[in-house]
Structure 1
Amino acid sequence: MKLKLSLLWLIVIQISFAQQRTCGMEQKMQQIMNDPIARQQYLQQQAQFEVELQKMATLSRNSNAVNNVQTIRIPVAVHYPSAGAVTESVKTCLRALAQNQINILNADYNATNADIVNFTENDASFYPGISVGNLGVQFELATENHPAGTGLTNGQVAVTFGTDFLSGADSDPTWAGYMNMVVRNEGSSILGYSPLGGSPASGHTVVINRFAFGSGSGCAGFVPAAPFNLGRTLTHELGHFFNLDHTFNNGTCSTNTNCNTQGDRVCDTPEVASESYECPEVGTVGSCSFEQFALTMNYMDYVDDACMYMFTLGQENRMRAYYNAIVSQFSTTALSNNEVLDNNFKIYPNPSKGSFTIEFKELTNSYAVEVYDITGKVIYDNNFELTSSLVQTINLENTGSGVYFVNIKTDNGLLITKKIVME
């Protein structure tokens, strides 16, 4: 009887633990700091970051310089190590799931996610002086000049199945220069992890548990599970990769009054001692100062996916400074040349009243069209196989007005993404 009760108690603990956000960043950093070579590389990269952060402080005094910063394009590779033996239909589903997750990232990192209105229309009153961050980034599945030996050809998206990052590895020099994302089974207690300041040159990766990747119905073996089924785990872990720490201090309040050197070292995220879980009501969790509320809806806290929706301006500046420090590590040939691809087809009219036409320059036997909104939600997805027409009309007359994105994909993946406005 005691054995049965003990087993039951263990199951209850595991189930309840899995319902709270957990991040393995700190354990990953312990591994790095215990490795002399990795530690030295990490410290050198952090020193470069501090130089860039000072430059950002100077830029912030010149609003024109900040506003003229160009959009960041980052080549992404997604790896499913356990999916080597799955069918082609499952692989197609997993490619779509990868794109779904990237759509979510682009919305979250550019403050175009639908729930950001919670702050701009209501919650901001609890946080005077705090502004929403917008990194101005475009994450894109890489499509060109893939590493030798991966079996991928130009035009195919950088999504692998059972071929890389095996045996639980967190880096792979084969994929140096990419923003690597690995989706695998990490048990029931860890949602994901990343280095605090990752290195694309070393092939570092962000690891996400297979039940916390993307949104929607998912694919066989990779089904997003509530309350972590909106893709925000990767938003959180990728923040670590770009050198953002948690907004909480692991149970203590600092005695140092310099917000640039204490806590998460971001001055517009109120210092808090402990993480928040589930979905606390805005303005109910205090901070260390007792004069501010905890910014519980920040992506770098531990609340559920549905209750985190923003970065701050200070976090934006910190991530951009880190990007500036590592930009030379990203591949410059992995992303498609949009100007070349634009010559292969056109979309019109744009703006549209609810339907638009895709016209190809040359016949394309099979392709897929996917349309998604600024939240990453797919509103149209259709495959056109063995077509002999150069034009295809897409009818979205029941779609609301706003900005949407159109993915044109071959059987092997994404060719190009275009923005379209519905009036």
Structure 2
Amino acid sequence: MKKTCLSLAIIMALFSCQKEDDSQITPKVSKRACASQEVLERQLKENPELAVKMSQIEEFTENALRNPNQYRLVNGKIEIPVVVNVLYRNAAGNLSQAQIQSQIDVLNKDFNAQNTDYNQVPALFSGVKANVGISFVLDQVIRKATTKTSWGTRDAIKKSKQGGLDPTSPSTKLNFWVGTIGGGILGYAQFPGGSSATDGVVIDPLYFGVYSNSSSSYPYNLGRTATHEVGHWLNLRHIWGDATCGNDLVSDTPSHNAPNYGVPTYPHYSTCSGAPVEMTMNYMDYTDDRGMYMFSAGQKARMDAIFASGGARFSFAQP
């Protein structure tokens, strides 16, 4: 079982990550790559106060996990309005309304245990698989033509002054930005605690929504990139803790020695202490879309905590 407590010193170390490369434009990637950790590392360097704020969020989360009766959700169920900001260079990037809705449908299935592959969760993890109980409703689609070939991960896509689009009501609506990221990045999210001016999730249009298995998006064609990134937006870490046998701050997920790719054959054993079977089918791993299909109860508890009174996303819990 992993400890979930987090000190200010640990939070700085937890967010070390790959170096950012905004210069490449990769139409199709061979391995899943999420830039959420590297974006957070940059934000921490640019704003030292963010580490303090995130440490406070972790302290609140830890208290909520220890005392769930004192930190109940306001309405018991959370429904989040979604704004999708589409920044396109050509017709292919100007996603149809149906394509956008397919992504909202995937989020609703994945966060409510209604995905058809949910019943594939192995018996070993059946006791901790969770219905998170968060719903998403498409509120608005905003479209903007652009000449940019790629946006990178420095949040220009979220800023009108840099050619992007400012977020809409970020304290009460989840903003997606859909545009070519480049650098082999499928998407990235901002963790709770960051600036409201950049709050939300960025997804490359190749990986937003459901495409056919024969598409250039395969094997990331089932909308699970957004499920993974929204997990970050809701305060979940990568399941391997972004370190060898790292800490994802969740007690019921087994230690992973590193990210998993493709669709690992079950059971896949960790090289970490005790050699546990890894939860490779968890949305917060790096497996192919068809290989991820569950959140754990501990992850659900972390997500619930940020909506409780005093939580980082409490404003989203209001009727």
Partner of 1:70: 76
Partner of 1:357: none
Counterparts in 2 of 1:280 and 1:86: CA distance versus 1, 3 Å: closer
Counterparts in 2 of 1:284 and 1:54: CA distance versus 1, 3 Å: same
Q: Which of residues 19, 28, 32 is equivalent to 1:21?
A: 32
Q: Which of residues 141, 144, 150 is equivalent to 1:162?
A: 144
Partner of 1:35: 46
Instruction: Give the conservation status (yes or no) of the 8 Å contact 1:210–1:224.
Output: no
Residue 329 of structure 1 deviates from its aligned partner by 3.9
Distance 1:17 1:97 in 2: 18
Does residue 80 of structure 1 match 2:86?
yes
CA RMSD of aligned residues (A): 3.3
Q: Which of residues 181, 186, 189 is equivalent to 2:176?
A: 181
Partner SS for 1:97: helix
Residue 115 of structure 1 deviates from its aligned partner by 0.2
1:349-387 Cα deviation digits (max 9, x unpaired) = xxxxxxxxxxxxxxxxxxxxxxxxxxxxxxxxxxxxxxx
TM-score normalised per structure 1: 0.58
Residue 163 of structure 1 deviates from its aligned partner by 6.9
Residue 78 of structure 1 deviates from its aligned partner by 0.4
Instruction: Give the conservation status (yes or no) of the 8 Å contact 2:203–2:226.
Output: yes
Counterparts in 2 of 1:116 and 1:61: CA distance versus 1, 3 Å: farther
Partner of 2:96: 94
Partner of 2:129: 132
Residue 239 of structure 1 deviates from its aligned partner by 0.7
Q: Which of residues 240, 265, 279 is equivalent to 1:295?
A: 279
Partner of 2:185: 190
1:325-345 Cα deviation digits (max 9, x unpaired) = 133444969xxxxxxxxxxxx
Does residue 216 of structure 1 match 2:204?
no
Which blocks of at least 5 consecutive residues in structure 2 are unaligned? 1-24, 160-165
Instruction: Give the conservation status (yes or no) of the 8 Å contact 1:198–1:243.
Output: no
Partner SS for 2:178: strand
Instruction: Give the conservation status (yes or no) of the 8 Å contact 1:201–1:329.
Output: no
Counterparts in 2 of 1:289 and 1:45: CA distance versus 1, 3 Å: closer
Amino acid at match of 1:267: S
Instruction: Give the conservation status (yes or no) of the 8 Å contact 2:26–2:182.
Output: no
Percent pairwise identity: 31
Greater RCO, 1 or 2 (C-alpha within 8 Å, sep 6+): 2
Counterparts in 2 of 1:185 and 1:15: CA distance versus 1, 3 Å: closer
Instruction: Give the conservation status (yes or no) of the 8 Å contact 2:240–2:255.
Output: yes
Residue 43 of structure 1 deviates from its aligned partner by 3.1
Amino acid at match of 1:29: L
Amino acid at match of 1:281: T
Partner of 1:6: none
Distance 1:28 1:285 in 2: 30
Amino acid at match of 1:77: V
Does residue 318 of structure 1 match 2:312?
no
Residue 249 of structure 1 deviates from its aligned partner by 3.9
| Alignment: residue pair count | 278
Residue 291 of structure 1 deviates from its aligned partner by 4.2
Partner SS for 1:101: helix
Residue 41 of structure 1 deviates from its aligned partner by 4.3
